[in-house]
């Protein structure tokens, strides 16, 4: 026999275990806020842009073939920037404050499609250090790529700068708490329905009909002990009054 659940029963289940849903939602949101604000280290990001062309020549203009060659070399430049040949010198220029291995994990190099512009992005817990690394990396590449690939036409389009009140890119506490709120709410609702599904307690006539698949012919009212004692007391009083009336007549 297939069981169907009405919309009314769904709302009754939610209402019945609303405390559980609210508790899980509040706990998840609070935990996310505590972790985001107090436990996770803020990470700042800074970027610089480079324009890379082939070696300078007497030509005042670049041909389409030159531009196409430059575009094909962009991935090569990406690899060179994160190579030990560059990062070791960047580390030296930073007085060894950051190792080449650490720099490799902090630096991201990207180039847009059909563009000769390189974006060097650095993430660090220190916003000033992030900007410094980005600028030093760009300057080091600009000076060293001449020896590596005979490219002496690298221009720094924009250097990395630090604002007065830099904002971290992560964590994002508000977003994290919003996600935790939704997850906690869904978990609470899911757990409420799971507990309701596993609860086989028979509470009323409707539960009996669902369990046995048979109609209920009658029900026995539950009488409390105090009600029984009160009924006995009233019956004794009535008998006593009846005897008194009989004797008097």
CB burial string 193-229: b at 16+ within 10 A, e below: eeebeeeeeeeeeeeeeeeeeeeeeeeeeeeeeeeee
Q: How is residue 79 written in tokens?
A: 């690899």
Residue 189 lies in a domain: no
Model confidence at 208, pLDDT cuts 50, 70, 90, reads: low
Is the confidence at residue 211, as pLDDT, over 80? no
Residue 165 lies in a domain: no
120 & 64 share domain = yes
Average pLDDT, the chain: 84
Is the confidence at residue 169, as pLDDT, over 60? yes
Q: Which residue has the tokens 């009909």?
A: 209
Q: Give the Cα separation of 230 and 236 in Å (integer).
A: 10
The domain in which residue 100 lies consists of 44-158
Which has the higher per-residue pLDDT, 197 or 144? 144
Model confidence at 198, pLDDT cuts 50, 70, 90, reads: confident
Is the confidence at residue 1, as pLDDT, over 50? no
CATH number at residue 131: 3.30.70
Residue 104 lies in a domain: yes
149 & 211 share domain = no
Model confidence at 203, pLDDT cuts 50, 70, 90, reads: low
Q: Which H or E run includes 53?
A: strand 44-53
The pLDDT value given to residue 197? 83
126 & 58 share domain = yes
Q: What is the mean pLDDT of residues 135-150?
A: 92
48 & 128 share domain = yes
User: Which of these, 40, 41, 46, lies nearest to 107 by C-alpha position?
Assistant: 46
CB atoms closer than 10 angstroms to residue 134: 26
Q: Give the Cα separation of 84 and 148 in Å (integer).
A: 12
Our count of domains for the chain comes to 2
Q: What is the mean pLDDT of residues 69-93?
A: 89
The phi, psi pair for 121, rounded to 5°, reads -115, 135
154 & 211 share domain = no
Which has the higher per-residue pLDDT, 198 or 104? 104
CA dihedral 95, 97, 99, 105 (to 10 degrees): -130
């Amino acid at each position: 026999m297939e069981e169907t659940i009405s919309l009314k029963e769904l709302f009754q289940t939610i209402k019945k275990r609303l405390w559980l849903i609210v508790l899980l939602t509040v706990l998840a949101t609070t935990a996310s806020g505590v972790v985001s604000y107090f436990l996770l280290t803020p990470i700042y990001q800074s970027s610089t842009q480079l324009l890379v062309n082939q070696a300078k020549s007497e030509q005042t203009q670049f041909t389409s073939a030159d531009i196409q060659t430059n575009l094909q070399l962009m991935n090569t430049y990406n690899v060179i920037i994160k190579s030990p040949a560059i990062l070791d010198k960047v580390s030296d220029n930073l007085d060894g404050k950051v190792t080449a291995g650490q720099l490799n994990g902090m630096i991201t190099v990207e180039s847009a499609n059909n563009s000769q512009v390189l974006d060097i992005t650095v993430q660090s817990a220190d916003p000033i250090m992030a900007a410094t690394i980005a600028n030093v990396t760009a300057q080091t590449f600009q000076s060293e790529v001449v020896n590596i690939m005979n490219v002496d036409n690298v221009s720094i389009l924009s250097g990395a700068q630090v604002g007065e009140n830099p904002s971290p890119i992560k964590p994002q506490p508000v977003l994290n708490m919003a996600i935790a709120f939704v997850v906690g709410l869904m978990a609470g609702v899911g757990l409420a329905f799971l507990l309701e599904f596993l609860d086989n307690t028979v509470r009323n006539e409707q539960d009996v009909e669902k369990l046995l698949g048979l109609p209920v012919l009658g029900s026995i009212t539950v009488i409390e002990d105090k009600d029984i004692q009160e009924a006995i007391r009233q019956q004794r009083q009535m008998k006593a009054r009846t005897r008194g009336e009989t004797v008097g007549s």
